[in-house]
Amino acid sequence: MAFLRGLGGYFLRGNFSGKDELMKLVQIKTTINGKEYDLEVRPNMTLLDLLRDELGLTGTKRGCEVGECGACTVLLNGQAVNSCLVLAPQVNGQEILTIEGLADGEKLHPLQESFLDHDAVHCGFCSPGMVMSAKALIDCTPNPSESEIRTAIAGNLCRCSGYQQIVDAIKEVKVEKRET
């Protein structure tokens, strides 16, 4: 794709053959971090691009962009998903929670606190995705085993920690059922 330009409800997509195509934007209505949005998006835009580039929610990290690293993990209707694999039009009518929506104002979510307490945040690149995967797990399994924790974060790569500190951080939070 050579370029994109907005044209009042359409966008012009240049392609490598030199022929331009006019494509219709898609109207979506979605809730992100408790806030309702009415948006026009390109039909080929990913949820990751929508969050980072259009809405400025940069806590969701851009990693591999092929669903292998988990850095872009968000919750879609309570389920952990790789936002690089979800097209923005697919979130019409859906509820999304990103790392920015996890804290309550200045008060960190217990998972975020536990990650800090257990030194589970090293470079920090994987942390948002890890925390969101852990949130999905704890919401559906309040007292997960170590095996369940490791399975839940298996799609999130960390090159700094060796994972034990992350598992320990999640284990400590599992004891108390969280309301958020």
Average pLDDT value for residue range 47-51: 98
| pLDDT beyond 80 at 180 | no
Q: Which CATH class is domain 110-174?
A: mainly alpha
Asked if 4-101 and 110-174 have one fold, the answer is: no
Give 169 or 159, the one with higher predicted confidence: 169
Distance of CA 140 to the CA centre of its chain: 18
What CATH fold (topology level) applies to the domain 4-101? Ubiquitin-like (UB roll) (3.10.20)
pLDDT confidence band for 37 (50 / 70 / 90): very high
| Domain boundaries of the chain, sorted by first residue | 4-101, 110-174
**Across-strand partners of 40?**
27
Give 3-29 pLDDT, tens digit per residue: 444 555 666 555 555 555 677 899 999
| pLDDT beyond 50 at 1 | no
Q: What is the pLDDT of residue 2?
A: 36
Give 85-137 pLDDT, tens digit per residue: 999 999 999 999 999 999 999 999 999 999 999 999 989 899 999 999 999 99
* pTM attached to this predicted model: 0.86
Q: What is the pLDDT of residue 4?
A: 47
Q: Are 29 and 22 in contact (CB under 8 A)?
A: no
* Structure-block tokens of residue 87: 């097209």
Average pLDDT value for residue range 158-179: 80
Q: Are 78 and 135 in contact (CB under 8 A)?
A: no
Q: What is the pLDDT of residue 170?
A: 96
